[in-house]
Structure 1
Amino acid sequence: MSKVTIIITAHNRKKYLPYAINSIFSALDPKSIKDLEIVVVKNFKDDNIDSWLDLHNVKNIVTSEESLAQKQAIGISNAHGDLIAFLEDDDMFALNKIYVLRKLLNYSDLDFFHNLFMPIEEATHESQIVPFNDYDVEFFHVDNLRNNKILKYIIRTYHPEIYNSCTTISKDLAMKCIDGLKRVDINTERFWFLCTLEKGRRIALTKSPLTLYRVHEQSYSQPNSNLFSVGLLERYIRSYTFMLEYFQKETVRRIVEEQYKLHLAHYLIYDRDNITRKLKLALFLLSNSLKPSAIYNEYSLLSAVSLLSSLMSTSLAKRILYR
């Protein structure tokens, strides 16, 4: 019988993990758990959490691996589902996301599914049903995404390369790409979309916010978080260096190159001294924003303006970039 595996990754945080798992169980008829598998991969032990996971038949894996990519790889190696959905410990699934994932099991050649998200406050503990109907899902064959116009439409409309908790892949694609995954550190959401473009078959996308994205001060990735650091941006930049070696298709490499330049711009706004490098990159991004062949025209313009603004004020540049 086909099944869905949900891999929940946690790093240091214990506070939100029960809410992430409850957002799955709250959506289920107790009799329907057989076709669903939950795998938690975390870097800590906790007697209360671990006993609760055992009681609910959740596969509980503790690892010393630091990177998100390595945690996902461990989860994939222990997954038995035909589809694998990712969920980070501080997010939740909408109550009807499991319904959607089960419907997608009917498509044997589906390698990638992505939904949008709805921000929630830190104190939100209960999930909810969000607007969705079956006609809200748009399907594409990867071969058709060589068309630049279609590719730009997909990225601008659905943002399929952002947020792990919005991403679902096939086990088949996961195994094709798992060796590359282990090298991308924290840049996993972009890796999965790019890997789909290189090695996948069919993708499905929806604008429905089937993921509830928690905004809080203990996030590693949110720029206004207490835990955000410039070192995080350096890790992203290193991952792009690897992906330029790993991916071979021209279309995919072009996307990686653009994403690399955008992340480099984000990194440089925190560097007050490297004025020449900032100016050169800003000019490149301004030029790229005018190219019809570019994928990220608007983001290139926004990043260029932020870089130039950082010559006067880093805080101003951050307000422009993270608005």
Structure 2
Amino acid sequence: MDKKVSVIINFHNGEKFLSQCLESVLNQEYENLEVILWDNCSDDNSKKIVTKYKDNRIIYFFSKKKETLYKARNQAISKTSGDLIAFLDSDDWWEKNYISSRANLFSDSYYDYFYSNINLYYEKKSNTKIYRKYKLPQGKIFDQLSKDYFIIISGVIFKKKLFLEHGFFDDKFNIIGDYDFMMKISKFSNGHGVNLPLINYRIHDDNFSKLHSKMFFEEYKKWFEENNINKNDIKFKKNIKFFKNKLDYLEITSCLLNKKKNLLLLKKILRHVVIIEKIKFLILFFLPKKFFKFLKK
């Protein structure tokens, strides 16, 4: 019998996109799944939308208190009964073969998690583009993720044992909890990548990380400092220049969005080592902020 996949959809006031998201799960070619709908204290029509679906694979939970994202995800994980766990953000959706494309490998003891390429869907323009055009790596991919983090949480299927053996998401984070978890497990566990874009990631004005660039930078800085303290982490030290570049990138981005432009910021930009990013930042520095989102894409 096929292994059960527990699909977790966390949402707070997700009525705008929830139907498309949920239907993309219920219409999967792979049928042995449960759908954990974790309603994080919504006050919109999300519950009414859920009750329209008469599918016994749906398990709905309503939190009377709005929790942080990773507390909510951890609570949802504790309710799963599947052999594998997948996450889907309520504004994203899967292709119908998202699960079935890897099902023959679910019993393979070598692989611990499964990921795919991504279709970026730009809400305003209603157009898409493939996220990464190179061949996705296999196995222990920490080094590759250090250079270019090409994974989103809505595009990963985990064997449940990873959470049971190595802990859940670190709930002190609000944005980078999935990044923290992926970087941790990718050092010692093996991933299987599919080059086909099997997940559709919606880019719109309300994307949480876009709205909270300062928080993104502060959390990443905390993550960097905590990992940098560990002198025995050889893999981290090996890739530290990439982490420093990312930290620098996030700091400049946050400053451009949230602070007044000044000479200190200009000096930070001029010291940035990635030439293409430096050019983009210089353009942004001398243009009004309204152009930022356009140029960032």
Range into which the TM-score falls when normalised by the shorter chain: 0.7 to 0.9
CA 1:155–1:243 in structure 2 vs 1: closer, same or farther (change >3 Å)? closer
1:263 aligned counterpart, secondary structure: helix
Pairwise CA RMSD of aligned residues? 3.2
Unaligned runs of 5+ in 1: 124-129, 131-135, 146-150, 222-227, 287-299
2:37 is the counterpart of 1:40? yes
TM-score, structure 1 length as denominator?
0.72
Once the two structures are superposed, the pairs formed by residues 310-321 of structure 1 within 5 Å of their partners are 310-315=284-289, 318=292, 321=295
CA distance, structure 2, for counterparts of residue 238 and residue 276 of structure 1: 22
Which residue number in structure 1 is paired with residue 138 of structure 2? 139
Give the AA of the match of 2:156.
T
Report how far residue 280 of structure 1 moved: 3.7
Amino acid paired to 1:40:
L
Q: Paired residue for 1:285, among 254, 264, 272?
A: 272
- Return the alpha-carbon distance in structure 2 between the equivalents of residues 250 and 314 of structure 1: 43
Structure 1 equivalent of residue 57 of structure 2 = 57
Change in Cα spacing, 1:261 to 1:69, as seen in structure 2 (3 Å) is farther
2:244 counterpart residue number:
257
- Note the C-alpha offset of 1:121: 6.2
Partners of 1:27 and 1:240 in 2: how far apart? 35
Question: Structure 2: where are the runs of 5+ without partners?
Answer: 125-129
CA distance in 2, matches of 1:122, 1:100: 27
* Structure 1 segment 229-244 matched on structure 2, within 5 A: 229=211, 232-244=212-224
**One-letter amino acid of the structure 2 residue matched with residue 282 of structure 1:** I
For residues 59-81 of structure 1, the C-alpha deviation after alignment (integer angstroms, 9 at most, x for no partner) is: 22223344322222122222233
Please report how far the alpha carbon of residue 55 of structure 1 lies from its aligned counterpart in structure 2 after TM superposition. Answer: 4.4
Measure the CA separation in 2 of the matches of 1:246 and 1:58. Answer: 39
**What TM-score, normalized to structure 2?**
0.78
Deviation at 1:260, TM superposition (A): 2.1
The residue identity in structure 2 corresponding to 1:163 is: I
Instruction: Name which of 197, 205, 209 aligns with 1:209.
Output: 197
- Picking from 262, 277, 289, the partner of 1:303 is 277
Count of residues paired in the alignment: 276
Structure (1/2) with the larger helix percentage: 1
Which of 185, 190, 208 is 1:196 aligned to?
Answer: 185
Residue type of the alignment partner of 2:222? F
Deviation, structure 1 residue 54: 6.7
1:6 aligns with 2:7: yes
User: Residue 321 and residue 155 in structure 1: after superposition, are their counterparts in 2 closer, same or farther (change >3 A)?
Assistant: farther
The percentage of counterpart residues that share the same residue type is 19
Amino acid at match of 2:139: F
Q: 2:262 matched to 1:275? A: yes
